[in-house]
Structure formats: structure tokens, C-alpha cells
Structure 1
């Protein structure tokens, strides 16, 4: 599938709407109903394994992220944080899909049960297990909407106005259609997340969200600083930030032409997998320095710094005024 460039990108509306909330909740109710019907058809054994697969997959992915990330690091050249993310997702998929397949091979569907009474029990139990699986799946979906929506809202509110203004300039490059699709999808999820605020189970969603609230808060501040040249300049001049940037290994990265080219091209994958970036991420001394860096406090200083008064233009030196009247002496010209 080939995308073509689009003429301009318009920042999506992130305002919450009741219709979006009602539509999403209706789809969730339909999903649970279909899960109940599927459970009645598949039977108690298969659907019970599905419930265990979902819960176990979440636990394996969350608590085993370090293990799976270290295993993935033997094949993928990425920093530890990225490997943990990949490891968590991989562990979840591996356990949930594998356990579900085991249930399908071990247990028969309801229609293949011969005894009528047992068939009714298997079907009823499967419907109940399908209801539980449907509810758990909806909760997981709500958590995913919360995670993507929070990060998406921060990104679009920070960079959206700049991207929109640049895309509408006559001398700017057009935003590719695939990039517009990604941005609009991110904006739609952010709007959906805003529309779902205030639901009765909102506190439960927040408690089972694996991303701490501090991460959302700091990410929002990072985007605001990165999208504000004045705040970014203030951050770069602060002592703690200068100490971090003046580290010899960081200076080596900054001076590397290949890394600079990747940054200019916005090649995130190339940057994360670059050997020097990976080596720096695994360096214990730099990691300790990074842990000492009070990121949120430094971001707050940059965002809350008073507006800098414009530097006055230098006034050319004026000759000192002398109150003594100047005496002009006219000397006679020879030969006159």
C-alpha cells in the first residue's frame, strides 16, 4: 500500500464528547455479549483457559519484563528500557497465545459433548467464563486507551501547533499521508481517553495501569519543554543539565556525524540501535549520573522561569559633553 503526500495537516480536536463515550461503551457491551456467546459455543474448558491465559500473560509480561528483555537483548541491539518494553509485550503474547492454544487442543467445544446434561453445564459455564473474559478484555482495552491517550495528548498538544503551522506554510515540506494518519489516530485515541474520564471504574483503571502517574506527568513536561525553544534553552543552561551534557561520552555522541545525521532524519530506530547509544545506555557510570539527574525538578525550573527581558541593544559610545565653551582659534595664513 503506497501513501502519497497530503497538502496540509490540521491539528485534531482533543475535546471530550459524550457521543464518543457512548459509542465506545456500546462497542464494549457488544464485545462482552459476543464473548458470552462464543464462550457458550466453545465451552467451559476452552474459555477458562482463555481467562487464565489473559491474566497469566499480563503477569508474565509485567513481572518478567526484565527477564524477557535480557533475553531479547541477545538478539536485538537496543537500550535496556526499550528491551524491557519489548520483553514485556513478548512475554504477554507468548504466554497468552500459547496457553489459549493448549486449551483448544485439550478441551472439546460444547457441540461435541454427547451427554445432554453435561453439554448444558459446559455451555453455561463457558458463557460465564466468556463473560469474565470479555470484562477483563475490556479493562485491558481501557488501560491501553489510557496509556496511548495520555502520551498522545501530551505529544499533540506540545508539537501539534508547530506541525500544523509548518505544514500550511508554502515553503515547507508536505506532511506525508502516513504521518497524518498516525497523528490523527493518536489524536482520536487521546480524545477518546478524555471522553472516558469520569467513568465509575476510573479509579480501578488507574490502579491497574502499569505506567506510574509520574511518568505521564514528566512526559508531558518533557514535550512542553522540547516544543518551546525558550524553555529548552533555559533547561540546557541549568547546572545539572550542563553537568550531564558535559559528560565526555555524551559529548562524543553529540560530535558523532552519523548520530547527528540520524537525529536530523528523525530516525528513532537507527538512533536506538546505534552501537554508541546502546553502549552509553549500558554504561554504569553514565546510568548513575542519569539517576542523580532530577529531571522533573529541572523541567519545572525551565517551564516556570520568569520571562527573560530582552537584551538591550548596545548604545554607541558618545563623546563626553563638556560644559566649557570651545574656543576656535583661527591662525593667519602665510602670504596673506
Structure 2
């Protein structure tokens, strides 16, 4: 189950389609993922909300969609999950996980076996694309036998999950800004901070942080890499194409297509940073890195999520650990709460 075909790039392209409803979007994402995930037993997907500070045990599932599964599957799934312990639910719903359910539920074998029996399958593969704010989607598929993913395969699935999480976050942000009646004459389409022409990938307009010369250079380089990944590279070397197209640029921008009223294609750099909190005076990028470390991501995957170099991630992590008085990642996790999401309510951080 290694997503090293051109279909991985197809999936990313579909994920960044900003048109249509969220339900239609999830359906299209599932269709694009099916050639890589569906092993002949069907698949399912759903939107996912983990209430802030809830840790996963009170997660809310909505808009479940099926592909070639029995019509009563949602009812069986709901009944099976309602009797699970909070500890089990927390263990099997970590943000950004990709792999088989037997791997992630290995510390809860009895509950996991009961879940499988209720669902009527021997194994499932799952990919969770959940943001630090607890909102995201899950796409899973039954398997015919118990299996284990290689570290490389899991990493590549997590890369795809990073894009899906980023795209879903972007859609939610755009939906939230639809009612913005601001008449700012500098505003760009879809709240973008830069517009690039699609042919030469030169910036034709920019506002805010994207006007900075170094930022403009970074955006142009990122747009060229994405264009390369979407071109012949997707067929010649799909693994490299996937690695080339990172989920963000500088931890701030998503790069997406946009067509004007005349049908001309442009490329937009739209601000889309993950929602993270800063309770202890960290910089924005330090907060991002620390959050994903607490989620269990490797430095390599964090770099991919944020569009930074691995060296830059290491520097940011070292700086953040110094500020927080943590000498190791283990101490960092101990200080900052379960799943990297310390309880936050009424404007205060829990001790």
C-alpha cells in the first residue's frame, strides 16, 4: 500500500479544488483516493471534529460517505464506536496518522477485536487528516488481511494526509470569509496575498507579507516546484513528485489554481497557516513546529507540512525547547499536554 503512482498527485490536485460544497469535495477526494486505498472491499470517509481540549474521546463524526459498503455500515460503525473506551478512541485518532488499524490499536487488542467483529472485517487501513484545532477528515478502507505498512509507505501516506488537512483548512477559512464585506481595494481573489501568472510563474500582484522580496522569491520557487510535480514528473518519478509538492510554503501559504472570468489560469498564494496557540511566547513558526512534534511527527514530516527545510525545523525546535526549558522531546510532551493540544478555554491555558 505505497502511494507511489501519479494518482497521488491526482489526489492532491482534487484536494485543492476550492469549488463546490464540502460534501462534494469529500466525495471527490474519496474517488481520487480509491485507486490507492480500495482493495476490493469498498471504503468510507467522514468529516471529523475533536472539541477543543477534549483529547479525542468526545469526537464528533459527520457526513459519512460510503463506497461499495453495505448500506447498514454507518449504523454498525456508530454502534461499534459508542461502546469504546475514551482511552481507545484517543489512541486510534491521532492527528496525521496513516496506517492499519491493528498497528495503531495494538495496546488495546480486545477492544480492537470487538470493533472488527462488529464491523465484519479483519483489518482496516486509515488516513486521518486532522488539523491542530481538531477538525479534519478520515478516509479508511477494509482490508482482506492483517498487514503492516513500511515506514516509508506510512510517511508518504502522511504526506498526502498533510495536503488533505491543509486543503480542508483552506476551504473552511474561505467559507468563513464569504460574509466579509470589507471593501479593501487591495484585496486579491480568494483572500490571496500574491497572484502569479501561470505561464511564467512571475508575481503579478502581491499584498501584505508576500510583498517582501524574499517571500516573493520563495513563492516563485515553490510555484515552479509544484508546476514540475504536476507535469511529467508525476509519471516519470511519482515519488519525487510527491516529495516536491509540499503542503505549505513557509508555514503560511497554500498555492492553488484560480481562473478569472475570461478563463485565464493564475496561481494564488493564499494564507493558510494551521491554527496553533502560543501560551509561552514562542514565535509563530516555533509554535507550528512544537505542535506537530507533540503530535508525533518527525522533523522530516514537519518540514513537509510547513514547507520549510529540515534544518530550519531543527533550529526552530531547538529554540522553542530552550524557551520552554525542555531538554528533550519527551520533556516537551510532558509539559504541553496530551496529543499536543493543551486544554484552552475562556482565554486561559490549563496548568
Pairwise same-fold verdict (TM > 0.5)? no
Compare CA radii of gyration and give the structure with the larger one.
Answer: 1
> Which structure is higher in strand share?
2
TM-score w.r.t. length of structure 2: 0.25
TM-score w.r.t. length of structure 1: 0.26
> Which structure is higher in helix share?
1
